[in-house]
Structure 1
Amino acid sequence: MDDDLVLNLVTEVESGSQKHVPGRKGGRWTDRVKANRAAKRKDRPDESRSTEPSHNSIERPTKKARQDFQTKGPADYAERPAGRSSTQIISSLFSSNPKFDQPASTNSVKILGRPSNAPLGDSSTFAGLGLDPLIINHLNSKMNIANPTSIQRAALPALLSNLAEDTSSRDVFIQSQTGSGKTLSFLLPIIQDLLPLSTQSYIDRSIGTLAIIIVPTRELAKQISDVLEALLTLRLRPPDESPDDPSSGPRLTRWLVSGLLTGGATKTHEKARLRKGLPILVATPGRLLDHLQNTASFNVGKCRWLVLDEADRLMELGFEETITGIIKGLDGRRKLAKLAVEEGKSMEVGGWDWEKRRRSVLCSATIREDVQKLAGTTLVHPIVIKATHNEETLKAADPSKPHADVMAEVVAGNMKFTPPSQLAQKFVLVPLKLRLVTLIALLRSLIAQSQGKRTTKVIVFLSCTDSVDFHWNLLGGTTMEDDAENDSESESEGEGAGEADGDNLNSQKSAKANGSKAYEARTPLLPETAIFRLHGSLPLQTRQASLRGFAAVPSGKSASSSTASVLLCTSVASRGLDLPLVRAVIQYDLPTEGGATEYVHRVGRTARAGKGGEAWSFVSPSESDWVNWVQGKMQGDDAQSEKVTLEPIGMDSVLRKGFGGKGSDFEARATEVQLSFERWVLRNSENAEFARKAFLSHVRAYATHPSDEKHLFHVRNLHLGHLAKAFALRDAPSNMKGAGAKAQAKGNKRKDTAQPHRASQPSRGGGKNKDKAEDYDVGDAEKRMEKVVRAQGRLTKQGGKMLSSGTGEFQIAGGYSLERLVNVRT
């Protein structure tokens, strides 16, 4: 076997007769291979071979002498810990990488298109669309919004209540580009519809909930709730009107209050607020259905608006049955409330227009088959609105047609989902074991280019939660100081040293020691940069604190010092989040679900509302065809639409900009950074466990690419030894299952033990397939995956076992168990 196929593999050779080594598995086939190798070495003259080998550590025959680091460079550099025999070989970053043709970088400056999601610069105004002057004044003075965007210009006339009866009673399907102001397109009509009720003396919070907005994630729910609260602080009188003027209009009361219902919050507090009344409510599906079924004081009988935002994401996460239950619950409570009024059992004062039906608004970036199904069961005679449509949209829709026919017409002429035209899209071809140092170099260059600005923010997307946790802890705990003595002691003791040094600081403890917050990490590799993380398995308070910390914009005296923020996250942050000053989005791991649509959603976190931004994608040599594939998926159907292209950037250029130096100095500096990461992993057993779990979870997530993408992403194409290098691991991938099982056995103190893991069993094939993903320990990950899926309520029964029907912690596709996914080979 080639030495470069595995990392740090210690080979034990018995000279002379074959002697069985306890603890080694593989069967008779492995013994024969060892015997053949030993015989060849014995027959081959080698003066440097040791004549008195020890039982525990027998050095391999000396190879051809390597040149010094100073004379040949880091390609053949190997670190030798002090006080130890050279039993570990640290593979080089810049040798034994697959040969591939780097795409030629274009030196010319690419001219980006006109912003496609910016506010319109023409004569379009909110007043011309029929918006209330009080709301217009608040948008101009408090929120600095003067002109509507294209989607707002198209949607507001259809949603405002001052239109003809044939259009105001119809439901609306909104399809728009990311970052185009879709949130205001449904919030403004809701406020304008409920504002006239403020003239009624009997109207107050006790009237109940009149508008419900359903979103897929807690972060998006909090963001919409914040925008809604900012809108509800509007002045209830024009600024030039005196309250004592008898000619002034009717006095408006301030009763519109917004509420938030999300999983992870205290239900007791939510019930108390629902009892007082929340006229406008933003909620996630699971918690909303819970209150509909179990909270008697939840008054939704008069609900007039129902908005389903990010409907395609709601369907991906398996909320179809939950939404169906919500709609049935709303209809049932409306019937009960109406019946109580007719029978005279209601205690409410004043009248109510029970003939006015509830309007539904569905917002989605794409019109896929599952979204069409949801629209068919939720919307009645829908009007489909796109950002490219103008006033002729209403005329094109025939009210006499069934809603299914209208949706079919829309799908037939559906435009592909494209990113903003002003977004600069780039990609870098990176070998697997250079991924980590290339990421650090790219972050350093992006942050350095923003020096002198108020702040800069970068979002990095990873494939799974374990990978997010590992990289966050790694960056927060790595130091570039020379600590050779401590490192050698730690490495020589192995796991025992990690247990004896159990009080070593991890990234959270070191953050506290440096005066940082527990959810914030810092590293000397990225000066003046705060690093945050976000994924679905974090506690709600940590998720909200991380998002607030990343989105914070320094003001006043703190703005004089340039600061930067980096957010490590999974796809939970890919939908709807409007984070200010995001300069770049880095897709360190390409999407495992959603294809080109998920890619566009991720890159849409930057270049919002007409502003510029960059999108970077890390592509391995075996995935190079993905670039042409995703470009073809994003081409618009319109013949006049501009071609969407990803600009190639050379890996050496990224490393040189990030680490600096002359000539090939960046290789030596990148090697030093990699070695500092590896020393952090070796520091204690906790750090090593972070790295192992992240590596294994990444392999499992990689196996979940859909079948139509297997020609681009396949586990067979992964060189697991090189991939382990990207997780700062020096162990061979075949050795990780044993170390992971040992660490889990030590940490598991429960008496009721489960069945033995597959990793502890002998591998089939006599060790021939050591590096295959099927040999890894999946027991702990399977339990954690099912626990997360159960908590989120996305469950279906299949074969008597509870399985995920959507994406979960490991982004597992529906209908597959974790153990089956890691065995995918076709």
Structure 2
Amino acid sequence: MEKKDKEIKSFKDLGLSDELIEACDKLGWKTPLKIQIQAIPPALRGKDVIGIAQTGSGKTAAFALPILHALLEDPNPFFACVLSPTRELAIQISEQFEALGSVIKVKCAVLVGGLPMAKQSITLATKPHIIVGTPGRVLDHLKNTKGFSLGKLKYLVLDEADRLLNEDFEESLNEILGMIPRKRRTFLFSATMTKKVEKLQRVCLRNPVKIEASTKYSTANTLKQQYRFVPAKHKDCYLAYILTEMVGSTSMVFTRTCDATQLLAFFLRNLGLKAIPINGHMNQLKRLGALNKFKSGDCNILLCTDVVSRGLDIPEVDMVINYDIPSNPKDYIHRVGRTARAGRSGVAISLVNQHELEWHIQIENLIGKKLLEYPAQEQKVLLLEKRVSEAKRLAVTKMKATGGKNKLWSDSEEEEDAETYFGLNRRPSKRFRRK
């Protein structure tokens, strides 16, 4: 007779192998999270699983642990393939597989764009157990890399499935589905359930167990959500005020455009704040280098677009600021999910100008709650206006001089940071240690 959810108090109670229990213990994971309690037992019984859970709820371990458990019994190459919508998320998933599978010496290959295919082909020649990648690059290797095939694949995972089904990935995903065995286990995970996700489950899952560890569009209970109505001309003053009030905190600031991340990074550094941008216009090495500087604490403010709003588990993010609130309210859920992860607390503050009121109302309707107003005396905030104006003027001048390119660090420094992040001197177990 199976244990009920309330009786499961440890990873041993889930029925995992001793090796994986040891790995969880080394990572400091004592008690499984809700999505893990609900998803792992049916996955161990060989069921397909659909998991709907808040971002930051432990979804990656919910599919990684059953796969590693099965791999112990059938240690074949190209055993599982995990598809993700972003390069950074793919790398992070691989790191967690390596951390959990360190005891059993699991081998992973990351297949993402922006990095040399030749090096990835060499890794594939070593016959890794787990493939993690973005659909486009995985498909490139399936078509062009000699000796690489997923014809004996046992497990397919679609992470952030709602995003994988947009027009950027749908064609590649359909081709991959036609090149892998129909007889396989499939795990589909997402923070939100959309009509496209429902369509996909009918196409590629067999009698799946559906796990809903959260309401359809919910945010973490430990997240304090606030807003502030501000005139567009004073938005930079409020941003500077909040960041200086929370000096020393780790913050992610979301903007609508790539250029805005660059401009605001120059602007904030002119105010003496340690800020670095990341966006889709940067090459992959620069993006990874920026993430490493943020994760290592060299910079405590990350200026970003929605390229990093999905899935990334960046430890100790204290605050998310929506400098530009998203026009799609579902993107708000993913953005604010960068903080208050795995039971930790966090703050999300949205700066809403006169042109964004409708989007703000849509966000409140989606999450089913009214946001609290961020308390600030406008008179006190505007004391920064002169200093902010000068910092913004210098930032605009530098943007024009550099053509919008990020020149906060030399290319060699950024590439060195990227290599550290991507694998050299990496210790993934520390990254996933639970507080």
TM-score, reference length from structure 1: 0.47
Deviation string 1:535-581 (CA, Å, 9 cap, x unpaired) is: 1121111111111111125xxxxxxxxx7600000001110000011
User: Displacement of 1:194 after TM fit?
Assistant: 0.7
| Residue of 349, 374, 380 corresponding to 1:649 | 374
Question: What CA distance in whole angstroms lies between the structure 1 residues aligned with 2:116 and 2:397?
Answer: 41
Match of 1:306 in 2: 156
Question: What CA distance in whole angstroms lies between the structure 2 residues aligned with 1:330 and 1:676?
Answer: 54
Question: Would the alpha carbon gap of residues 549 and 682 (structure 1) be closer, same or farther in structure 2, given more than 3 Å must change?
Answer: closer
User: Displacement of 1:626 after TM fit?
Assistant: 4.1
Match of 1:366 in 2: 192
Amino acid at match of 1:129: L
Question: What CA distance in whole angstroms lies between the structure 2 residues aligned with 1:264 and 1:679?
Answer: 32
Matched, 1:132 2:17: yes
Deviation string 1:188-232 (CA, Å, 9 cap, x unpaired) is: 00000011235xxxxxxxx53110000000010111111111112
Question: Would the alpha carbon gap of residues 123 and 292 (structure 1) be closer, same or farther in structure 2, given more than 3 Å must change?
Answer: closer
CA contact (8 A) 2:253 2:302 kept: yes
| Residue of 9, 21, 43 corresponding to 1:159 | 43
Where 1:621 maps in the other structure, the secondary structure is: coil
State the number of aligned residues: 401
User: Displacement of 1:295 after TM fit?
Assistant: 1.6
Where 1:381 maps in the other structure, the secondary structure is: coil
Question: What CA distance in whole angstroms lies between the structure 1 residues aligned with 2:117 and 2:362?
Answer: 46
| Residue of 320, 324, 332 corresponding to 1:599 | 332
User: Displacement of 1:672 after TM fit?
Assistant: 2.9
Match of 1:187 in 2: 64
Matched, 1:686 2:394: no
Question: What CA distance in whole angstroms lies between the structure 1 residues aligned with 2:108 and 2:396?
Answer: 47
Question: Would the alpha carbon gap of residues 535 and 669 (structure 1) be closer, same or farther in structure 2, given more than 3 Å must change?
Answer: closer
Question: What CA distance in whole angstroms lies between the structure 1 residues aligned with 2:245 and 2:7?
Answer: 38
| Residue of 34, 39, 61 corresponding to 1:150 | 34
Q: Which has the higher contact order (CA 8 A, sep 6+)?
A: 2
Matched, 1:417 2:197: no
What's the % identity of the aligned pairs? Answer: 35
Question: What CA distance in whole angstroms lies between the structure 2 residues aligned with 1:121 and 1:673?
Answer: 53
Question: What CA distance in whole angstroms lies between the structure 2 residues aligned with 1:153 and 1:685?
Answer: 53
Question: What CA distance in whole angstroms lies between the structure 2 residues aligned with 1:564 and 1:279?
Answer: 35
- Between stretches 666-675 and 377-386, larger displacement belongs to 666-675
Structure 1 residues 35-434: aligned runs within 5 Å: 124-140=9-25, 142-160=26-44, 163=45, 168=46, 170-197=47-74, 207-234=76-103, 254=105, 256-316=106-166, 318-331=168-181, 357-387=183-213, 415-434=215-234
Where 2:13 maps in the other structure, the secondary structure is: coil
Matched, 1:634 2:367: yes
Amino acid at match of 2:30: A
Match of 2:282 in 1: 538
Question: What CA distance in whole angstroms lies between the structure 2 residues aligned with 1:172 and 1:468?
Answer: 38
CA contact (8 A) 1:459 1:586 kept: yes
CA contact (8 A) 1:427 1:649 kept: yes
Question: What CA distance in whole angstroms lies between the structure 2 residues aligned with 1:682 and 1:545?
Answer: 25
User: Displacement of 1:173 after TM fit?
Assistant: 1.0
- Between stretches 532-541 and 624-633, larger displacement belongs to 624-633
User: Displacement of 1:307 after TM fit?
Assistant: 0.3
Deviation string 1:450-500 (CA, Å, 9 cap, x unpaired) is: 5xxxxx310000001111122223334x3xxxxxxxxxxxxxxxxxxxxxx
Matched, 1:614 2:347: yes
Question: Would the alpha carbon gap of residues 294 and 424 (structure 1) be closer, same or farther in structure 2, given more than 3 Å must change?
Answer: same
Amino acid at match of 1:672: R
CA contact (8 A) 1:587 1:618 kept: yes
| Residue of 416, 426, 435 corresponding to 2:235 | 435
User: Displacement of 1:690 after TM fit?
Assistant: 4.7
CA contact (8 A) 1:208 1:299 kept: no
Matched, 1:589 2:304: no
Runs of 4+ in 1 over 6 A off after TM superposition: none
TM-score, reference length from structure 2: 0.86
Amino acid at match of 1:271: S
Question: Would the alpha carbon gap of residues 565 and 317 (structure 1) be closer, same or farther in structure 2, given more than 3 Å must change?
Answer: farther
| Residue of 251, 257, 260 corresponding to 1:464 | 257
CA contact (8 A) 1:121 1:147 kept: no
Q: Which runs of 5+ in 2 are unaligned?
A: 406-435
Matched, 1:551 2:323: no
CA contact (8 A) 1:429 1:651 kept: no
Amino acid at match of 1:296: K
Where 2:340 maps in the other structure, the secondary structure is: coil
Question: Would the alpha carbon gap of residues 436 and 329 (structure 1) be closer, same or farther in structure 2, given more than 3 Å must change?
Answer: same
The structure with more strand, counted as a fraction of residues: 2
Where 2:95 maps in the other structure, the secondary structure is: helix
User: Displacement of 1:668 after TM fit?
Assistant: 4.2
CA contact (8 A) 2:325 2:359 kept: no
Question: What CA distance in whole angstroms lies between the structure 1 residues aligned with 2:361 and 2:126?
Answer: 56
Amino acid at match of 1:183: T
Q: Which runs of 5+ in 1 are unaligned?
A: 1-119, 199-206, 237-253, 335-356, 389-414, 451-455, 479-522, 554-562, 636-643, 657-665, 692-826
CA RMSD of superposed structures (Å): 2.3
Where 1:330 maps in the other structure, the secondary structure is: coil
Amino acid at match of 1:440: A
